[in-house]
Amino acid sequence: MINYQDFFAERAQLMQASDIREAFKLTENADIISFAGGFPSAEYFPVQEVEEIVSELLASSPGIALQYGPTEGIAELRCQVAELMSSKGVRCSGDQVLITSGSQQALDLIGRVFLNPGDLVLMETPGYIGALGALKAYQPIFEGVPLDEDGLRVDVLAQRLEELASEGKSPKLLYTVATFHNPTGVTMSMERRRHLVRLAEKYRFLIVEDNPYEEIFFEGEPVSSIKSLDTSGLVIYLGSFSKIFLPGLRVGWVTAERSMVEKLAIAKQSMDLCGSTLGQKIVSTAIKRGFFSRHIPALRFSYRKKRDVMLTSLERFAPEGVVWTRPQGGFFVWLTLPERMDAKVILSEAIHKKVAYVCGSGFHLDGGGHNTIRLAFSQNTEEQIREGVRRLCLVLKENLGGREVGVARAV
Amino acid sequence: MINYQDFFAERAQLMQASDIREAFKLTENADIISFAGGFPSAEYFPVQEVEEIVSELLASSPGIALQYGPTEGIAELRCQVAELMSSKGVRCSGDQVLITSGSQQALDLIGRVFLNPGDLVLMETPGYIGALGALKAYQPIFEGVPLDEDGLRVDVLAQRLEELASEGKSPKLLYTVATFHNPTGVTMSMERRRHLVRLAEKYRFLIVEDNPYEEIFFEGEPVSSIKSLDTSGLVIYLGSFSKIFLPGLRVGWVTAERSMVEKLAIAKQSMDLCGSTLGQKIVSTAIKRGFFSRHIPALRFSYRKKRDVMLTSLERFAPEGVVWTRPQGGFFVWLTLPERMDAKVILSEAIHKKVAYVCGSGFHLDGGGHNTIRLAFSQNTEEQIREGVRRLCLVLKENLGGREVGVARAV
């Protein structure tokens, strides 16, 4: 008998399916109200529009829409994205845009192009573990930076950078979901963004700003992107059409300095030759039709209602001692239970009661967060959210018993 | 001024745009008849069928076709591919199939899961440099194995393996395009396939069989895949819908042992979360509709005519001393010029005469092949092929002058 494991590379021996991935599987059980997956809601998919666009594309340019395309992405879409970025204060041209298969591929590319083994990567903790997974393949050292209601603790970062500098070290890059953070839902303040950019300039590291939720805001315009404050070219911006349009097309992008985009494109060529041209053409046509200016406001309205239902349900049902964030946009609410409670233990009870979530510990670099929970409100109906939160809070109440609870912070 | 190059990882400093990639750019000039890109012909894209399928999908299951999907690929398509493989002598189930964004992503995945730095990778020389590009990121050592009209010289390989074994070494994997080889168009004989599998078993290495052209055969069924001879699970098979359907959907697959597919899926999750679900659903629906049993025979007929035109044009116009392969399928003819000629020098003259090709040296691991040329007959019309070959042969004739020519082999 051959043991096929023997053929695996060292890095593959360490690869394991993520907690979130496992939690997603629960969504397959129709009985369970799952707050696990942060998927956009399929009820908002513009089916009619897509059908019209595909008909139009197949009538006008099937030889482009269905053929291999440029590795960098189709030129038209690159220019459209550059315009979009420019309208949000990031002046750039099409050759500063690389189209990727969602932001996840962008993360993999960034690891490949920028990370040597042993390079230091900083990220929020709790933070988006998909980024960790992608960058991990390139064997950097990760270090977490805490966050609070105003996002990444840039003051803590500044201290740590000074310490590192005194040892002659500096990070290669810092990864952040600054706006409507995954998993906590918080947003980095403008003051901290400015400070962060100054720190990157001072200590010469790259900022990778992953910004998939920016357009899904609920209370007036969100603060400007970090990239819009960047005059040194140290910020690499990741955008995505997955949350504001259709994840199944796999269209995201990178905006960065031209020389970086060129190198990322060369790396991308050996990864997949090119992304889905059909997907890119659908997005490009939707932009040309002015579809997003109608669609995105409707999305904001709908997701806000869901958030509101989740927050009011929590207020109504949550036992004392449980606290949570109040996101101004995005898909997630973050729950913190009293210290002595374990979200993993409670999860099996919750599933028994037909409600599911992702344990917050999976988002922590340092093994912390045992008493935290990520709830996504994006995919369920308002009725499901109400009922799901009720079920969850029942389980939490049972676990709390009549015992005394401490005071906790929401993040 | 910041020098952004300073941020690049070591592996990125070495990344360069490939010759083929540069050659592709020539195809943008409408004046030039380009034999450079091995794209399938857009004239065979089944536009009507795709439109019907998309309408059907958007009516029946938009919430699946446009949403995130499983990392491994949608279950239905995995099972269909398993059936397809089983019908060609590779008995397998859906969980031995991983759907990828074209075969190129599969190559990247294989590198990530199997290659440690310094591992020995064998491949045909000349060989498909896209594979080299993908695997190179994982820093193996490459060694070329020569080929002739019957494909990879397995006898040379056997000798080399013995040598290596005597030094206590063995390769991690051997990569081959055994059927209608890219770039030469030759096919490995059945006898050599059997021998190759025995060698893999004896010396314990993996065979990566990249088989995108198998269905495009012109003279009766091609020899069975190497995977169909594999009883030890050492063959990893790569298939693709790019050549037989639509490259712009980016749908390919891996068939391998279950434990390998599981590990590849975990690696894929951090690369892109999932591939295009819309693309996968389109392919799956086309299979369900029995589309391929009508479409593929038509493709064979059409590409065969193009090959025939290229071969007869070469016979008619090529100067003495130039020899070429006679592929039984696929997209490519391989030209060998007299030893003293340099395909790179001639290319600029050819472009001046409005015809382009890829220099064979780019496909050689060892810097050889200066006098070789790859011609793709897939994308041009029969008229263009005739005229393009005429122009090319004129340039070759001029370069040969009246001088004496040696005798050369076609591969």
- d(CA A271, CA A260) in angstroms, rounded, equals 17
Determine which helix (DSSP H) or strand (DSSP E) holds A335, and give its type and residue range: strand A332-336
Q: Give residue B23's pLDDT band: very low, low, confident or very high (50, 70, 90).
A: low
Q: Could you report the per-residue pLDDT of A32-81, keeping only the tens digit for each?
A: 999 998 999 999 999 999 999 999 999 999 999 999 999 999 999 999 99
Q: Which helix (H) or strand (E) holds A100?
A: strand A97-100
Spell out which residues of chain B touch residue A30, defining contact as CB-CB under 8 Å: none
Q: Taking a C-beta distance cutoff of 8 angstroms, is the pair B105, B112 a contact? A: no
Compare all CA atoms of chain B with the CA of A259 and give the residue at the minimum distance: B4
Residues of chain A with Cβ-Cβ distance to B115 below 8 Å are 9
Chain-chain contact of A273 with B112 (C-beta, under 8 angstroms): no
**Residue A405 in this model has a pLDDT that exceeds 60:** no
CA distance B186 to chain A (A): 24
Is residue A16 predicted with pLDDT exceeding 90? no
CA nearest to A140 within chain B: B9
Q: Which residue has the tokens 């005394």?
A: A404
Cβ contact A342:A369 at 8 Å: no
Closest CB from B21, B51, B67 relative to A269? B21
pLDDT at B28: 62
Mean pLDDT of chain B: 94
Kindly list the residues from chain B whose CB atom is less than 8 angstroms away from the CB atom of residue A47: 58, 62, 66
Q: Which residue has the tokens 């999907």?
A: B69
Write the DSSP assignment of B341-397 as a string of letters: --HHHHHHHHHHTTEE-EEGGGG-TTS--TTEEEEE-SSS-HHHHHHHHHHHHHHHH
Cβ-defined contact of A272 to B242 (cutoff 8 Å): no
pLDDT, position B411: 77
pLDDT at A24 exceeding the cut of 90: no
> Is pLDDT above 60 for B345?
yes
In the predicted model, is pLDDT for residue A82 greater than 90?
Answer: yes
In whole angstroms, what separates CA B87 from the centre of its chain?
22
Q: Whole-angstrom Cα distance, residue A277 to residue A74? A: 7
**How many beta carbons lie within 10 A of that of residue A13, not counting itself?**
11
Contact list in A for residue B103 (CB cut-off 8 A) is none
Average pLDDT, chain A: 94
State how far the Cα of B25 lies from the Cα of B28, in Å rounded to an integer. Answer: 6
> Which of A250, A254, A283, A378 is the best substitution to test chain B (most B C-beta atoms within 10 A)?
A250
Q: How many CB pairs under 8 A join A and B?
A: 233
**Integer CA distances (angstroms), B203 to A14, B67, B145, B209, B381, in order:** 26, 44, 16, 17, 46
Do residues A152 and A176 touch, judged by C-beta distance below 8 A? yes
Cα distances (Å, whole numbers) of residue B325 to B127, B128, B307, B383: 15, 16, 11, 21
Domains, chain B, with CATH or none: 4-45+295-400 (3.90.1150.10), 66-291 (3.40.640.10)
Mutate to test the interface with A, among B22, B245, B259, B273 (most CBs of A within 10 A): B273
Residues of B in contact with A5 (CB under 8 A): 259
As a whole number, mean pLDDT of residues B318-324 equals 96
pLDDT for residue B21:
64
Q: Which chain A residues contact residue B2 at CB under 8 A?
A: 204, 232-234
List the structure tokens of B405: 């020519």
pLDDT of residue B87: 96
Nearest-angstrom CA–CA distance, B350 and B104 = 30
- Beta carbons of B212 and B260 less than 8 angstroms apart: no
Chain-chain contact of A248 with B272 (C-beta, under 8 angstroms): no
CB-CB neighbors (< 8 A) of A274 in chain B: 250
What's the mean pLDDT in B221-241? 96
Find the CB nearest A276 among B2, B113, B279. B279
Predicted confidence at residue B402, as pLDDT, reads: 60
Report whether pLDDT(A205) > 70.
Answer: yes
pLDDT exceeding 70 applies to what percent of chain A? 96
Q: Between helices A47-60 and A277-288, what is the axis angle to 10°?
A: 110
- What local confidence, expressed as pLDDT, does residue B123 receive? 98
Do the Cβ atoms of A146 and A176 come closer than 8 Å? no
The 10 Å Cβ neighbour count of residue B169 is 11
What band does A374 get if pLDDT is binned at 50, 70 and 90?
very high
Confidence band, pLDDT 50/70/90 cuts, at residue A283: very high
pLDDT band at B20 (very low <50, low <70, confident <90, very high): low
Give the ipTM of the model, two decimals please. 0.94
Please give the single-letter amino acid code of residue B159.
Q
Chain A residue with minimum CA distance to B140: A9
Q: Residue B206 and residue B208: Cα distance in Å, rounded?
A: 6
> Would the pLDDT of A26 be above 80?
no
